[in-house]
Structure formats: C-alpha cells, structure tokens
Amino acid sequence: MMKQIALYGKGGIGKSTTAANLSAALAGEGLDILQIGCDPKHDSTRMLMHGTWIPTVLDLIRERGDATITVDDVVYRGFGGVRCVEAGGPEPGIGCAGRGIIATFQLLERLDALKGDVIVYDVLGDVVCGGFAMPMREGYAQEIYLVTSGELMSVYAANNIAKAIARLSRRVRSKCTLGGVICNAKNIDGERDLVEEFAHRINSRLIAYVPRDRGVQVAELNRQTVVEYAPESNQAAVYRDLGRTICENRTTSIPTPLEMDELESFALEFVQV
C-alpha cells in the first residue's frame, strides 16, 4: 500500500536534508520513492540529483502554460531511482509562495504521477496557510512528521503546524494525522529531553533523534546525501533507521498543541541557568 508522508518544520531546520536522506535510505530498501519539494527554496531534491537544480513546476508553468507539460518535464530520477519533483515558488516580490504547491498538485494529478510505494512531501512550515497546508488539507499526506531542534523558534513552528493538523483533522477530505516528532539536533544542552517532552505534551512521540554531524556537510560538498556518500557512517545508519521506523509506524495521533504561554513556560524548564 502506498504511504504518503510529509516532513514539516521551520525554514533551515533540516527538512530537506532529512527528507533526501530518508528517500535515499528507503530507495535502498528497494522501494519506489517520489519526493516532492514544497518549499520556494526548491533545493529539496538537489542532493539526490547530485547538485543539479531541476526545473520547478512553477517555472515550467510560467514559461509555457501547463497544457503541454509531460511527466518527463517535471519528474527526474535521482540517486537510487528516487523520483524528484520541485514545486518552486513565485518570483520574489510578486505572487503567493503557496501557489506553486497548489499548481504542482493539480499538474501531478492530471499527469497521474502521484504514485509509488512512499511519497515524501518536504514542506516549509513557517506559514501553514494556502498551498503549504495543501498536502495535509486535501488528503495527500496521511502522516505528518514535525522536524525540530531544541531551539524555541523551531519548537514554536512545530507547535503551529500541530495546530494546523489538529484543525484540519476534523475535516472530511483530510486524512492527516501526526506521525511523530523528529529531533534534528543543533547540539543545545538538554535538547533531546526538551523535544521529547514537547512531543509528549502535544500527544505525540519522539520517533527519531538525528545527531548534528559534520558528515552532512562533507556529503553536501560532494553533492550527495550522506546515505550515498558515506553509507557506512553512523549518520547514514540513523537515516536508514528513520526510514524503517516511519515504514513500520502504526501509531499516529491527533495533536494537542500548546498555548503560547504554556510553550514558553515549558521551554523555560529546560533552560540551564
């Protein structure tokens, strides 16, 4: 059965790094993977594509309208056969960033390209409006994974996304639930405990702790995922474990987001003074 998952989190927190390595790991298990970058930054699949910037769906639509676009124009095969798509974004200063995502889904539906064993949506969660909510709102992503570090701003973003999931889960079309929280470490004191406790408080759980590892940058400089560049490394093993955990995950939940003051007082408990 096809599984559709989405990684949501604050900009720069490590969603694309995690998503690309996850896809690479799952492809290594022989699974057919489709990764869709839903961030105007459009670098989600770049390491899977060995540093190439593939054309974005929004750029293609802008250049020639969507009527003549074929699957081969938008879907590119990367490492391990992972099929890569980038939604793209508007030109800076004009247009709504979420529009690219909406257009991408409409196009991929028309091309009947939304298939595979696992679809990984890599979504910017700084604003959970319009297009950015689409993967969860329209019944595409069934399981949401929140990517956060122990930094308050990224926990705050994760909590906002949890609010969106809780609200959207009441809608008929939406099938989205929270699959778990992934701690992508920034090496802050007490970080793991903080993120784990946050996960519990929002009625979820920490499903993976991804260490901060220099190997990520080294692989990046070689334009590859860690899973491809250093398959024997501990970090690659972490991503393969994450893949297995997500594939086997049967316990998803409807989150209970925290109020702002709750979130702040909770974070204070973990600050070393």
Q: Does 241 sit near ligand ADP (CB under 6 A)? A: no
Q: Does 151 sit near ligand ADP (CB under 6 A)? A: no
Q: Does 135 sit near ligand ADP (CB under 6 A)? A: no
User: Which listed residue (32, 41, 59, 193) is catalytic?
Assistant: 41
Within 8 A by CB and 6+ apart from 214, the residues are: none
User: What does the DSSP 8-state code read for residue 259?
Assistant: P
Q: Does 12 sit near ligand ADP (CB under 6 A)? A: yes
Q: Does residue 15 carry a catalytic annotation?
A: yes
Q: Does residue 175 carry a catalytic annotation?
A: no
Q: Closest Cα partner for 205 from 216, 217, 196, 192?
A: 196
- Cβ 14 vs Cβ 145: under 8 Å: no
User: Which listed residue (3, 39, 122, 126) is catalytic?
Assistant: 126
Q: Does residue 41 carry a catalytic annotation?
A: yes
Q: Does 16 sit near Mg ion (CB under 5 A)? A: yes
Number of C-beta neighbours around residue 106 at 10 A: 14
Within 8 A by CB and 6+ apart from 265, the residues are: none
User: Which listed residue (3, 10, 39, 122) is catalytic?
Assistant: 10
d(CA 28, CA 169): 32
Q: Does residue 126 carry a catalytic annotation?
A: yes
Least CB distance to ligand ADP at residue 63 (A)? 25
Within 8 A by CB and 6+ apart from 7, the residues are: 15, 18, 19, 22, 120, 121, 122, 123, 145, 147, 182
**According to CB under 6 A, which residues from 189 to 228 bind ligand ADP?**
210, 212-213, 216-217, 220
Selection from ligand ADP, Mg ion, none that 210 binds (CB < 5 to 8 A by kind) is ligand ADP
d(CA 121, CA 211): 22
Near ligand ADP by CB under 6 A: residue from 3, 9, 40, 84: 9
d(CA 187, CA 149): 8
Backbone φ and ψ for 147, nearest 5 degrees, come out as: -100, 125
Selection from ligand ADP, Mg ion, none that 9 binds (CB < 5 to 8 A by kind) is ligand ADP
**According to CB under 5 A, which residues from 24 to 63 bind Mg ion?**
39
Selection from ligand ADP, Mg ion, none that 88 binds (CB < 5 to 8 A by kind) is none
Binding site for Mg ion (CB under 5 A): 15-16, 39
Which residues are annotated as catalytic? 10, 15, 41, 126
Binding site for ligand ADP (CB under 6 A): 9, 11-17, 184, 210, 212-213, 216-217, 220
